Chains A and B, each alone.
Chain A
């Protein structure tokens, strides 16, 4: 179906009985059935007793908690996806829920008042069924379905029709559900279900993004702490003053409060620094620090840590453990007020002495010390021990140098890890490319060589139901996690649009995405190129294809013919997304012959400080000219090698397609064909 065919407006109701959407032409390849308007009903277990209920599974509940979304406020990304589901399926309610062992918490709640209830108990929520089964639940009439007929939510919320998919974590745990609800009996169609599945998968990826971002944040916090410790210990000549400052530095990253104590020549401890995260409790901690060492000898965790030269962590029952050791009643009173749930004592060790201890305590809300946290505290304590040792015995200069070098190595290691997390986050957003008939797709993604940066570039390809291939490449302004998150949202929205409106011209998809961005208040400037590879009956006779594309502020595509001659496809670029209201956009077409190659790229490939864009585009054509005999992957590698510096200033994304002749079998270099990857579920 070409772009001149029927078009459905984005804002028109998408009721499943809309007969026009049934008139899709099936895809040209076997194996992938297009969704239809046929009514569907699906539930995992008609008897209502799941085989293995997993709702209370501790690994699953831990994964839900790691998302950081429980009891958090609303997030636009989930609100947008739920609102889209409600709109596309014409359902009054749509929810994104996270289900722990007790309750179903609504991260997004479309159709419910903003100040309405945010959760219900798991056993009255329909979400329990999809979490327990790990599969979809599609119920057209909740009263006649044996699984749901007795569910209290039918009476309390008026749930008469329910359709939802589980949101699955990267390691396969069902975390919650993505669902729509109608108060009337519904016949859910295959298209409804497909839209829901795609949006649920998108929501699942958003959850993964949150978990990865949190992990990156924690890694960054620890890296910063190590750097601050290195600086604090290095910048003052008075090592004891410097070590005393550690108490303040490690809070709040490692705990709620901390005390640093140093041993004098006779081995008696004195507290030299202490800090509490909460200002009102600092006077209480002052009292504890003054009194706690009174009469304290040969007992408790501090003593054990000094004797053994190893950290001692009291993982639970810290209040009782501490009270049993403290001798001063004033210290006991202060300790009761501080009420630690867990604490650890790290000896400040050097090669042959224990110079003091670092005590870190935390309340019940912080949970137990993780291995990474105890390792970090041990590193800091060792570093402090070495600094103290150096101050006391300055002849050991070489040793401290080595220790500092080791600490620097660890910091570099952490920095690499941190960047790895950012990259992983990005990788999660980039699609496994489909390999349709006789097309060979390949892509490259290079991130800017700046610490902590993730990019807003993306590429994507999908096979919508009408049999065309849709290519998308874009660039969200900015290089931070916020840009990556907007990129993820836009990418998902555009996928949903391209799938739903498979007869729309590229310019229409761009206009619709721009409109949705305005509706959702996404104002980040974004360049985008959308291209469709089409083949009508006449083309099929002659072995030709048609490339149809539209461009929003994005660099023009390059077409390389079978003889290896590259041409910049003349493109009238419209403005980027989220820049100018109500603009005209243009579509372009070009004829594709067997053996041609299409190259799409983001501006990072051609933008440099020292050259005009036109010079760089000419340079790109020169490079491509030299690649005439190369296979697709070698060609793309050569472009990257010639055009991109070893430390790029900007992200670079490339998406290339080689069009093989349909007379010949699919060439080996094009790799395995994955027809069913039209809508990867990620």
Chain B
């Protein structure tokens, strides 16, 4: 089970990384690279991870999201999560990170 990442720009000119598949130790570097690229994109106003399609999410996934949020903060770029699946929400809750970042539903 791999992770696929598509990059879009939403109507407020934020970079939205739409993730589908497993976010784990094997795919975290892929996501970190995609997020690093999105962060240096000119005139992007924010970075959003859309997690609706994430079917597997473990502590390595948490580590990757924390790292990306830190990098976004260092780059002064607003960061948010979008439409986490139930599995993702559960892991975020157990990890105490449900309130750490803004969470939007996908209609935003």
Q: Which residues of A contact B (CB under 8 A)?
A: 475, 477, 523, 525, 527, 551-553, 555-556, 572-576, 579-580, 583, 603, 607, 609, 612-614
Contacts and interface: CB of A to CB of B under 8 A. Distances in A.
Interface stretch (B4-12, B33-41, B46-54, B91-99): B91-99
A613 B90 contact: yes
A607 B95 contact: no
Contacts of B100: 575, 579-580, 583
B13 interface: no
A607 B96 contact: no
A580 B96 CA distance: 10
Contact of B95 (A572, A573, A609, A612): A573
B102 interface: no
A576 B56 contact: no
Given A609-B56, A613-B90, A477 B97 contact: no
A603 B96 CA distance: 13
A477 B96 contact: no
A576 B96 contact: yes
| The 4 residue pairs across chains A and B that have the minimum distance between CB atoms | A573-B96, A553-B95, A553-B96, A574-B96
Contacts of B70: 523, 579
B61 to A, nearest CB: 11
B97 A579 contact: yes
Interface in B38-74: 56, 58-60, 62-63, 66, 69-70
17 contacts: A477-B60, A523-B70, A527-B95, A551-B96, A552-B96, A553-B96, A573-B95, A573-B96, A574-B96, A575-B100, A576-B62, A579-B69, A580-B100, A607-B58, A607-B59, A609-B58, A613-B91
A666 B90 CA distance: 41
Contacts of A576: 62, 66, 95-97
Given A525-B62, A609-B56, A580 B95 contact: no
Nearest to A552: B96
Given A527-B95, A553-B96, A477 B59 contact: yes
Contact of B66 (A525, A583, A612): A525
Contacts of B63: 477, 525
A583 B95 CA distance: 14
Contacts of B91: 613
Contacts of A552: 96
A289 B62 CA distance: 57
B31 to A, nearest CB: 15
Contact of B90 (A475, A523, A614): A614
Contact of B96 (A475, A575, A609): A575
A122 B60 CA distance: 48
A430 to B, nearest CB: 21
Majority secondary structure of chain A interface residues (helix, strand, loop or mixed): loop
A113 B95 CA distance: 42
Nearest to B97: A575
A535 B88 CA distance: 39
B2 to A, nearest CB: 14
A330 B21 CA distance: 67
A518 to B, nearest CB: 12
Given A477-B59, A553-B96, A555-B94, 14 more contacts: A525-B63, A527-B95, A551-B96, A553-B95, A553-B97, A575-B95, A575-B96, A576-B97, A579-B66, A580-B66, A580-B100, A583-B100, A607-B58, A607-B59
Interface string B77-107: 0000000000100110111110010000000
B26 to A, nearest CB: 11
A573 B59 CA distance: 15
A523 B74 CA distance: 14
Given A579-B66, A603-B59, A613 B94 contact: yes
Contacts of A612: 87, 90
B63 to A, nearest CB: 5
Nearest to A574: B96
Contacts of A527: 59, 95
Contacts of B59: 475, 477, 527, 603, 607
Nearest to B24: A609
A16 to B, nearest CB: 37
A525 B69 CA distance: 13
A557 to B, nearest CB: 13
A223 to B, nearest CB: 24
B90 A573 contact: no
B64 to A, nearest CB: 10
A59 B61 CA distance: 48
Nearest to B100: A580
A614 B97 CA distance: 17
B87 A573 contact: no
A612 B58 CA distance: 10
Nearest to B93: A573
A575 B60 CA distance: 15
Contacts of B24: 609
A239 B62 CA distance: 51
Nearest to B87: A612
A576 B96 CA distance: 7
Contacts of A614: 90
Nearest to A603: B59
A580 B90 contact: no
Q: Identify which of A475, A555, A580 gathers the most chain B CB atoms within 10 Å of its CB.
A: A580
A682 to B, nearest CB: 29
A549 to B, nearest CB: 13
Q: Identify which of A553, A574, A607 gathers the most chain B CB atoms within 10 Å of its CB.
A: A553
A551 to B, nearest CB: 7
Nearest to A551: B96
Contacts of B90: 612-614
A527 B87 CA distance: 19
A490 B100 CA distance: 23
